[in-house]
């Protein structure tokens, strides 16, 4: 892509699933260990480098490195070594749905402990890798708030609408404190605040739910970003500089039909109520006028190549309409387990196959070929320029 200011070294980004939540069965999950990314870090980063990807979302497992405020970051040393060897820049994900045992996210101690941890992470990683450093303080605040605050699927296992609102506010407070703590160490650090971009429609037989569905899609879905930007609850210290880079996660199942109780129903692919992704990106850009990336996107199995093609067509259309889109994170780079079933999702560039007691990485050839096709298209294309600040 010629003559275009950039934030990240390549337009395509990727990353590795790194959730460390307490699941509804009371057991802590460690998705990086389940895929053995923690043991295959060098191989996994070489896979991304071979794919021509220069930035990766990578997790610091807060519940595992923080023991009552004492830190052991040796767990992430293999990641840092792999990044240095391959020249891949990280976006450090500091809280991917998991926090230390015994810590109450509704307590006043939560934000201060998170800030201390963020400061310690910055002190550890910033001297080891080139500038600029990128961080996602708390991943998907909105989804975290729904899953842990309303549905009770992950800790803190709250239920009800009030739980969602309380948890979202607590997580926003902590995220803002975390940003400030990181910038005490590295004033030039960039923040990528990732959250799902959703579209919620009214059930055809329930026109009385029209206002509720609209509120969910056009107000509530943006509330975490609004708080970080200082548009709501300004007493928490949000600002456009705190929001910094908007990471919009986009999946086909993010377009849903409203339900009064529990998870909403995903719209089938041929539903006439599906909203073009380009329109969602334009709405988000016009709301914040901050640099954007697609923070996560993928499909599964044989649907991966077609989804990538669809995302690229919609993204190019959004760029033509002036959206400051600086990258697309095709996530994950390597396969992951389904949270509920434990089966391999088959949503990465490389599938995982269990073989002789190890987890072998096997390329998803059609998906890789589609990536190469789009990389070749972008190499010869001048995209509309955007302000990289």
For 194, the 3-state DSSP assignment is: strand
Average pLDDT over residues 58-81: 97
Q: 329 and 350 in contact (C-beta within 8 Å)? A: no
Indicate if the alpha-carbon torsion angle 289, 293, 299, 305 is positive or negative: positive
Cα Rg of the chain, angstroms: 20
Domain range for 356 is 12-221+247-379
CA distance 17 to 331: 8
Question: Does residue 261 carry a pLDDT above 90?
Answer: no
Q: What angle do CA 86, 134, 104 make, to 5 degrees?
A: 120
DSSP codes of every residue in 341-376: T--B---SSEEEEEETTEEEEEE-HHHHHHHHHHHH
Read off the pLDDT band of 384 (50, 70, 90). Answer: confident
Read off the pLDDT band of 292 (50, 70, 90). Answer: very high
- 174, 153, 152: which is closest to 162 by C-alpha? 152
**Higher per-residue confidence, 94 vs 5:** 94
**How much is the pLDDT for 263?**
86
CA distance 177 to 108: 12
**How much is the pLDDT for 388?**
53
Is 350 inside a domain boundary? Answer: yes
Q: Tokens at residue 306, please? A: 């077609």
Question: Does residue 345 carry a pLDDT above 60?
Answer: yes
**How much is the pLDDT for 190?**
98
CA distance 122 to 120: 5
**How much is the pLDDT for 1?**
45
Q: Tokens at residue 17, please? A: 């699933």
**How much is the pLDDT for 37?**
98
Q: 195 and 252 in contact (C-beta within 8 Å)? A: no
Is 240 inside a domain boundary? Answer: no
Q: Tokens at residue 286, please? A: 């016009």
**What's the full length of the chain, in residues?**
389
pTM of the predicted structure, to 2 decimals: 0.96
The 10s digit of each residue's pLDDT in 221-240 is: 999 999 999 999 999 999 99
Q: Which residue has the tokens 């930035």?
A: 55
List the beta bridge partners of residue 28: 22
**How much is the pLDDT for 381?**
82
Q: 14 and 331 in contact (C-beta within 8 Å)? A: yes
**How much is the pLDDT for 385?**
61
Question: Does residue 266 carry a pLDDT above 90?
Answer: yes
Question: Does residue 359 carry a pLDDT above 80?
Answer: yes
CA distance 48 to 37: 13
Whether cis (ω within 30° of 0) applies to the bond prior to 332 is yes
Average pLDDT over residues 162-180: 98
**How much is the pLDDT for 145?**
98
CA distance 201 to 274: 9
Question: Does residue 380 carry a pLDDT above 90?
Answer: no
Question: What phi and psi, each to the nearest 5 degrees, are found at residue 324?
Answer: -85, 70
Q: 116 and 181 in contact (C-beta within 8 Å)? A: yes
Is 104 inside a domain boundary? Answer: yes
For residue 304, what is the domain's CATH number?
3.20.20.80
Number of domains in the chain: 1
Is 313 inside a domain boundary? Answer: yes
Edge-to-edge strand order for the sheet containing 255-257?
A: 199-201, 255-257, 265-266
For strand 358-363 and strand 350-355, is the pairing parallel, antiparallel, or unpaired?
Answer: antiparallel
Q: What angle do CA 249, 119, 167 make, to 5 degrees?
A: 50
Question: Does residue 257 carry a pLDDT above 60?
Answer: yes
CA distance 147 to 154: 6
CA distance 353 to 351: 6
Is 146 inside a domain boundary? Answer: yes
**How much is the pLDDT for 4?**
56
Read off the pLDDT band of 387 (50, 70, 90). Answer: low
Which residues are within 8 A (CB) of 169 and not within 5 positions of it... i.e. 6 or more apart?
227, 233
Give the up-direction half-sphere exposure of residue 161: CA atoms within 13 A in the CB hemisphere: 6
**How much is the pLDDT for 382?**
81
**Higher per-residue confidence, 386 vs 33:** 33
Q: 175 and 141 in contact (C-beta within 8 Å)? A: yes
**How much is the pLDDT for 365?**
98
CA distance 165 to 146: 9
For 190, the 3-state DSSP assignment is: strand
Indicate the average pLDDT of the chain: 96
**How much is the pLDDT for 96?**
97
**How much is the pLDDT for 2?**
45
The 10s digit of each residue's pLDDT in 294-336 is: 999 999 999 999 999 999 999 999 999 999 999 999 999 999 9
The percent of residues above 90 in pLDDT, for the chain, comes to: 95
């Amino acid at each position: 892509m010629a003559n275009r200011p950039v934030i990240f070294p390549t337009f395509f980004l990727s990353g590795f699933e790194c959730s460390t939540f307490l699941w509804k069965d009371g057991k802590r999950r460690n998705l990086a260990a389940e895929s053995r990314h923690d043991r295959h870090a060098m191989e996994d980063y070489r896979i991304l480098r071979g794919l021509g990807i220069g930035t990766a979302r990578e997790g610091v497992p807060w519940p595992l490195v923080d023991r009552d405020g004492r830190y052991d970051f040796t767990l992430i040393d293999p990641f840092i070594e792999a990044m240095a060897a391959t020249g891949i820049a990280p976006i450090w994900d500091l809280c991917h749905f998991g926090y230390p045992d015994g810590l109450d996210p509704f307590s006043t101690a939560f934000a201060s402990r998170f800030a201390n941890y963020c400061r310690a992470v910055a002190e550890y990683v910033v001297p080891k890798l080139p500038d600029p450093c990128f961080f996602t303080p708390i991943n998907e605040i909105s989804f975290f708030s729904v899953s842990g605050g309303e549905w009770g699927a992950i800790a803190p296992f709250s239920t009800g609408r009030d739980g969602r609102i309380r948890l979202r506010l607590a997580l926003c407070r902590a995220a803002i404190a975390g940003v400030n703590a990181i910038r005490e160490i590295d004033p030039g650090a960039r923040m990528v605040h990732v959250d799902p971009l959703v579209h919620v429609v009214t059930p055809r037989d329930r026109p009385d739910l029209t206002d509720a569905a609209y509120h969910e899609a056009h107000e509530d879905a943006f509330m975490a970003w609004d708080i970080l930007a200082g548009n709501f609850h300004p007493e928490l210290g949000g600002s456009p500089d705190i929001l910094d880079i908007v990471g919009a996660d986009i999946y086909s199942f993010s377009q849903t039909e409203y339900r009064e109780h529990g998870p909403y129903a995903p719209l089938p692919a041929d539903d006439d109520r599906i909203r073009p992704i380009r329109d969602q990106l334009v709405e988000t850009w016009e709301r914040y006028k901050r640099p954007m990336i697609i923070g996560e996107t993928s499909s599964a199995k044989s649907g991966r190549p077609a989804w990538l093609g669809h995302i690229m067509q919609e993204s190019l259309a959004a760029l033509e309409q002036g959206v400051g889109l600086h990258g697309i994170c095709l996530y994950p780079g390597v396969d992951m387990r389904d949270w509920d079933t434990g089966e391999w999702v088959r949503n990465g560039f490389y599938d995982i196959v269990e073989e002789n007691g190890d987890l072998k990485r096997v390329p998803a050839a059609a998906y890789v070929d589609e990536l190469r096709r789009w990389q070749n298209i972008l190499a010869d294309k001048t995209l509309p320029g955007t302000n990289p600040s």
